[in-house]
Amino acid sequence: MRILQRESVKLRRLIHFKKSLNFSCKKVDTHGNKPYFYIIIKKERYMKKAAKVEYGIQIVKPWSNEMYDHNDIVAEVVRIKVKQLWIAALMQYQKEFDGNDQMLESDWVVASTELKRIQTAITCYGFGYGYDVNQVVDRVMQELDDAPYYRLNEMVEELELELEKGFVGF
């Protein structure tokens, strides 16, 4: 009788465990008073996930050529939009200097907050004393031209750009 009580406790634990792990138990055979069980793991656990599709492109790992082509096009659009923002902010800042080029030699610390916001979104760090606007402009343009997909995606989020189609695979 004690053996059956122990087995029923084990069976209750097994059933509780079964509910949490998504598998089933089947009774195989009984030898005397002891039932033997084996575990069948459900197939859903090992089945492949359904393919994810964004903008009509199937998302796969490693990335397909179609994904790279799409992201190349989106990257160019993002670079153009960010450059437009940057140039507009530079033109606005230049108006403060009455349209002359002395603003390129001015210290970066006195630059407008909009310029600093865009610069920080592109480079992920700020510039302090000792940098003039011309040095920062060169660095920003270099960073923008060399930015990988994930950085461009972060720039879109930080600058809150509206895109018709976004990056795929992130």
Q: Is the bond preceding residue 62 a cis peptide, omega within 30 degrees?
A: yes
Other beta carbons less than 10 A from residue 80's beta carbon: 10
Other beta carbons less than 10 A from residue 112's beta carbon: 13
* Maximum average pLDDT range among 1-10, 39-48, 100-109: 100-109
Pick the residue with more confidence: 15 or 144?
Answer: 144
- For position 14, what pLDDT does the model report? 57
Of the candidate ranges 46-50, 81-85, 153-157, the one whose mean pLDDT is the lowest = 46-50
CA dihedral 144, 135, 126, 78 (to 10 degrees): -20
Percent of the chain predicted with pLDDT > 70: 70
Residue 34, pLDDT > 70, answer no
- For position 31, what pLDDT does the model report? 56
Residue 153, pLDDT > 70, answer yes
Tell me the three state secondary structure of residue 126. coil
pLDDT bin (cut points 50, 70, 90) of residue 156 is very high
